[in-house]
A and B are shown apart, each in its own frame.
Chain A
Amino acid sequence: MMRFLLFFLLFSSIARADESYMKPDDFINKTFVNTAPSPSIIWLAGDTKEKVSQILGHPYHKLRVKYWEVNNRTAWILDEIGKEKHITTGVVINAKGQIEEVKVLTFRETRGWEVKHSFFTDQFKQVVINPDTTLSQNIDGITGATLSVHALKVQARMALYLHENRKPTKK
Chain B
Amino acid sequence: MKTESRRKNNSVLLLLKLHKYLGLMVFLVLLWLAVSGIALNHTSEFQLSKYTVNNATVKSLYGIPDLQIDRAVKLPRAWLLEVDQRFYFGEKTLSTLDYQPLVGAIQTPELLFVARTNSLLIYTHEGDFVDNLPVSDVVKAMDVLDGNLVLKTASACLSSNQSYTEFHTCSSQIRPFWQGLDVVLPNVQADFLRKYQDNGVSLEQVILDAHSGRLFGNAGVYFMDAIAVLIIVLSLSGFSLWLIRKYRRLLR
A: residues with CB less than 8 A from B are: 18, 23-25, 38-39, 41, 61-64, 66, 79, 85-86, 88, 108, 170-171
Contacts and interface: CB of A to CB of B under 8 A. Distances in A.
Given A25-B134, A39-B165, A63 B129 contact: yes
Given A61-B129, A62-B131, A108-B97, 19 more contacts: A18-B98, A23-B136, A24-B134, A38-B161, A38-B165, A38-B166, A39-B165, A41-B163, A61-B95, A63-B128, A63-B130, A64-B130, A64-B131, A79-B97, A85-B98, A86-B98, A88-B97, A108-B98, A170-B163
Interface of B: 95, 97-98, 124, 128-132, 134, 136, 161, 163, 165-166
A79 B119 CA distance: 15
B118 to A, nearest CB: 10
A61 B165 CA distance: 17
Given A25-B134, A64-B131, A66-B131, A41 B165 contact: yes
Contacts of B131: 62-64, 66
A25 B136 contact: yes
A23 B134 contact: yes
Nearest to A171: B163
Contacts of A63: 124, 128-131
B162 to A, nearest CB: 8
A39 B166 contact: yes
Contacts of A41: 163, 165
A25 B11 CA distance: 89
A171 B95 CA distance: 21
B239 to A, nearest CB: 57
A25 B163 CA distance: 18
A110 to B, nearest CB: 14
A39 to B, nearest CB: 5
A88 B119 CA distance: 15
B89 to A, nearest CB: 15
A153 to B, nearest CB: 20
Q: Top 7 A-B pairs ranked by shortest CB distance?
A: A39-B165, A63-B130, A86-B97, A170-B163, A62-B129, A64-B131, A62-B131
A79 B96 CA distance: 11
26 contacts: A18-B98, A23-B136, A25-B134, A25-B136, A38-B166, A39-B166, A41-B165, A61-B129, A62-B129, A62-B130, A62-B131, A62-B132, A63-B124, A63-B128, A63-B129, A63-B130, A64-B130, A64-B131, A66-B131, A85-B98, A86-B98, A88-B97, A108-B97, A108-B98, A170-B163, A171-B163
Contacts of A171: 163
Nearest to B95: A61
Contacts of B132: 62
Nearest to A40: B165
Contacts of B124: 63
B144 to A, nearest CB: 16
A41 B165 CA distance: 8
